[in-house]
Each structure stands twice: as C-alpha cells, then as structure tokens.
A and B are shown apart, each in its own frame.
Chain A
Amino acid sequence: MNPFRYERASEIASACATAARPTAKFIAGGTNLVDLMKLHIETPEQLVDITRLPLDRIEETADGGFRIGALVSNSAAAADMRVRRLYPVLAQAILAGASTQLRNKATTGGNLLQRTRCPYFYDVTKPCNKRVPGSGCAALEGLNRMNAVLGVSDNCIAAHPSDMAVAMTALDAVVEIIAPDGSRRAIPIDELYSPPGDTPHIETVLEPGELIGSVLLPPPPAGRQIYRKVRDRASFAFALVSVAAILDLDGERVRAARITFGGLSYKPWRSAEAEAALVGAPATRAAFDAAGTAALKDARGYGHNDFKIPLARRTLRATLTQAAGLA
C-alpha cells in the first residue's frame, strides 16, 4: 500500500473540501478501497475518514418515502423493519450481496460507488482503460464471462457489481449529493453512472469533492417486489445476472412493471423496453418471455459471456412468474 495522510472528518464541508484534491479520497467502510489500495490500483495520498459524520440515519420523509443516510451500513439497512416491510426488494438485494462481515462495514454510499470486479481491472499486469486510460481492454478478448453485454463500449466491458443499486434503481431512488461549497443536488440513481464510451475511467457524474449524503426512496410503489440473483455459488458471489422486479397486476393483466437487471452493464440496467412490453399484457410466461426479448434485443456478447443474454431472459421470466404468483 502506498503511504497516505489520514484525516478524520468531523464536519461535512471541510471533508468535501479536502477530498476535492485530486490525490485525496473519502473512505467509509473501506471494504473495496482498502483492498484496491493493497493492490496499488488505488493510490490516494490522503484519506478523509467520513465514518463519524452524521449521515447514519434512516428517516421517513414527509411524502411517506425514506431517506437512507450514506453511512447507514448495508446490514443496518437490510435489518431495518421499515425497509423490510415497505421495500423488500431492497432488503433482499442487500442480503444477496457479499457476506455479513462485509455488509456490517460497507455503507450505502460506498456500495453505490464500489468499483467493478472485472478481473483485468484487478490484474495490474494487463491493459485496462479504466485503471490506466488508453492502455486497452484485456477483457474484450479475455475471460469475460462476468462482463457486461449492454450499454458498454469496445473500450471497456466492465459490469457494475452492486446488488443494492439494482433494487434502488427499480425503486426510482434519488441520490442526494453534497458539494464542497455546501450546495446540494439530487439526481436519479439511473443518472449517477457514466457510460464507459471513450472514458471508462470516469464512472459517475460526481465532481471532485462531492459526497453522497443520502439516498432518497420515494414511497413504495404498488405491486409485488422481488430480487432474484443468479451466481456461480449459492452465496457470497457476484451476480452473473440479477433482476429486481416490481409487478403490479390488475386481475390477470399487468398494470405496472419495473424491471432492472444487475450484472449486465456498467450500471443497474433499467429496461424501459421490458416495462413497455409488460404493461397491459396478460401475466403469462409468453408475455414475460416477450419482455425478456425486448430487454435484451440490443445485447452483445463477447464470447465467454454470451450465455448471459439467454440467462437474463430466463431469469426475468422466473422472477416475473414468481412475482405474479404463477410459480
């Protein structure tokens, strides 16, 4: 690990000001950052420890939604009875990620900002445009079975690893951001992540020194919420494909649907195509298959990850079948 200066932040504004320096970084749970620092993939010269800032509450908002502080641990969010009753898809998604030891440390803000687990991002002997801009992408021709099939570019096919963010995207969550000058802005979670394009090293729209302060959940939508994750082992593994679905039925027809995939793109992949295919359709396997076909129509495999395309369609069908009570 490279040497760094350590600073324990006691108030938000000064923490943001310090972290705005190009060589500085915020640290909270550290479960991803410390690992990357050991490997010299992250080499900050200064760490701003934000764990003692007052951002660790889950509060109900005036409209019946909830605000989850950025420092609420993944465990605390998933154990909160209000989250479990009103946003079960979020509790399920959080519990599908990592291990209890990691969830106890990992925070809401840090989970959103965790880096990809693409093996070539981690392998410092290989080219990676995300790690070393302009060096190339070893995953294109490499062992890319964990990589993305939607929304990526030939410069980078890394997938976002979060489960939590997939559920939050289905819930139309809003990320509340605090800038070094104290100003605040709120952006839909779907707009937090930047497409890789020609600049895969730029992963979010956050400006230097901007801090995620909280995540706002709108009031829970009508319908049944389900998170389903497919992975190489039964627990403690990243998703090959996951689906967060919220399905609202009017008798035997779909009144409303929200579909978000994990493991397929640089961000949680909300599928407007699948949702449009479902609304008004009968709640049948055929309709669910049609939604999957619509969702994956622009998908492109890179060899080892070709299987993700049919797997995503089948996972969507299984999730919706369960949500509709047909299973």
Chain B
Amino acid sequence: MKEFLRSMATRRWFLKTSGVATLSLASSPSMTQPAAETPSLPTEHVDLTINGRPYSLDLDPRTTLLDALREHLGFTGSKKGCDQGQCGACTIIINGQRINSCLALAVMHDGDEITTVEGLTEEGVLHPMQAAFVRHDGFQCGYCTPGQICSAVALLSEHRAGWPSYATADVATAPALTDAEIAERMSGNICRCSAYPNIVAAIREVAEEGSQ
C-alpha cells in the first residue's frame, strides 16, 4: 500500500510539473488538466548527431538523453530499465565514450555525436559484436542487450587505449583482456537472465578477432 501511495504521489508530481513531456498522455482530459496549471517554461534548442545523421530538437530541459532518443526521435533500441544509472540498459556511446543516457540531460549534449545500438549495424550487416552475441547466445529476454552491446563495443576501444580497471593488478600497466577484466569492465550492465558467461564469451571472441 505504501508503495502504491508513493507511486501515486510521484505520478501527481509528474502531472503537476510536466509541460512538454505530457504529450504522450494527452489523450485523457482529466490527466492533462493539472499540467495546464504549470507556467510554461522555455524549451532549449538541441542539435545532436545520432548514428551519423543530424537531428534538431526543442526540448524541455528536463528531458534526458534517453527520453529524447526514445520518445522524441523513435530510437527505441536503448532501453529504460532502472532509470537511475544502475542497470546499464540505456548505455549509448557519446563522443566515443559509453554513458548511461538515463542520467544525462539532452540539453547538456548539444553538438555531441551519439551512437546507439541502431547505429552499429551497417547497411543491414550486424556489427561484429552483435553477431558474436547472436552466435554465443549472449542473452535470453534481450532487454538489456542493446546496452550490453554498446557497452562491449566501447569496452574494446577503452582496452585498446590502455585503460586499466579495478581487476588490473598493476594499474600502471595495460592489462590483457582476461575474462576477469571483461567481467569487471562490464559490471555497469546488469542482465536479469544472467547470460553473463555467454556475454563474456562473445566479447572475448570479438577482442581476439580484433587483435589478430
């Protein structure tokens, strides 16, 4: 009951304070009513390059990058799992680095270059990491998979750049990409189906192919 009341309270907050973001709920008049009480705030203009193409948006500054991608632009590959940076399902690559898009305000990324899981595929051909996940059965339900794959792609560039991890015995060295290193470096991506062994195998295979 407490949880229910809390969720209602949160929902009321949302309705009371939402402006632009309530568009998707606009079909119910009773729901749009409270939103009208909020004085409208200026939107912010945001230019993003997503998977190599330019996009222009005018957004409520509260919009996260994840919501901008999913709700405003239709890039639904990135998933909303926890919405608090703990699960990694929303992982995207921004200016070459992986981040949790649920904790990023889109307005702060004006001018940035974004790669989502949709951008990894080239002309219908799967990215080697996508193909390896398929080959190794690196998933069950698949919900975390776009985040896992974006994370894994970025992991390989970090490793090539010599980044250490907490699993690295001597942080002043560039470590080999052992299974322990892969597991540590992937710890920001949770898989509720626990496909971890196959995820590690897929990443290891792509890493080995890349180093040949």
Contacts and interface: CB of A to CB of B under 8 A. Distances in A.
B88 A101 contact: yes
Interface size class of B (residues with CB under 8 A): 35 or more
B108 A85 contact: no
B17 A3 contact: yes
B40 to A, nearest CB: 9
Contact of B91 (A6, A27, A38, A101): A101
Nearest to A91: B171
Q: What 10 A-B pairs have minimum CB-CB distances, sorted nearest first? A: A99-B188, A235-B187, A6-B61, A236-B187, A95-B166, A91-B171, A104-B97, A101-B188, A84-B172, A1-B62
Contacts of A234: 183-184, 187
B166 A92 contact: yes
B181 to A, nearest CB: 11
A31 to B, nearest CB: 5
Contacts of A104: 97-99
Interface of B: 2, 6, 13, 17, 19, 38, 41-42, 44, 60-62, 64, 83-85, 88, 91, 97-100, 103-105, 107-108, 110, 151, 154-155, 158, 161-166, 168, 170-172, 183-185, 187-189
B8 to A, nearest CB: 12
A125 interface: yes
A75 to B, nearest CB: 7
Contact of B84 (A3, A4, A35): A35
A81 interface: yes
A100 interface: yes
A47 B61 contact: yes
Nearest to B107: A6
Interface in A38-58: 38, 40, 47, 49, 51
Nearest to A105: B99
A96 B166 contact: yes
B126 to A, nearest CB: 23
Residue among B42, B44, B97 having the largest count of chain A Cβ atoms under 10 Å: B97
A96 B129 CA distance: 26
Nearest to B64: A34
B85 A31 contact: yes
Given A91-B171, A101-B98, A236-B188, 16 more contacts: A1-B17, A2-B17, A6-B61, A34-B64, A34-B105, A35-B84, A85-B172, A88-B172, A92-B166, A95-B166, A95-B168, A96-B166, A99-B187, A100-B188, A102-B188, A124-B6
Interface in A70-107: 75, 78-79, 81, 84-85, 88, 91-92, 95-96, 98-102, 104-105
Interface in A1-22: 1-6, 8
Contacts of A96: 166
A125 B2 contact: yes
Interface of A: 1-6, 8, 27, 30-31, 34-35, 38, 40, 47, 49, 51, 75, 78-79, 81, 84-85, 88, 91-92, 95-96, 98-102, 104-105, 124-125, 234-236
B184 A235 contact: yes
A169 to B, nearest CB: 19
B50 to A, nearest CB: 18
Contacts, number: 117
A75 B163 contact: yes
B171 A92 contact: yes
A92 B108 CA distance: 29
B164 A78 contact: yes
A102 B107 contact: no
13 contacts: A6-B44, A8-B108, A31-B100, A49-B107, A79-B163, A81-B172, A92-B171, A98-B188, A99-B187, A99-B188, A101-B151, A234-B187, A235-B166
A40 B100 contact: no
A246 to B, nearest CB: 15
A5 B41 contact: yes
B164 A100 contact: no
A265 to B, nearest CB: 23
Nearest to A99: B188
A91 B164 contact: yes
B170 to A, nearest CB: 8
A5 B17 CA distance: 13
A40 B17 CA distance: 11
A99 B88 contact: yes
A30 B103 contact: yes
Contacts of A236: 187-188
A95 to B, nearest CB: 4
Contacts of B62: 1, 3-4
A49 B109 CA distance: 11
Contacts of A27: 105, 108
A99 B148 CA distance: 13
A130 B164 CA distance: 36
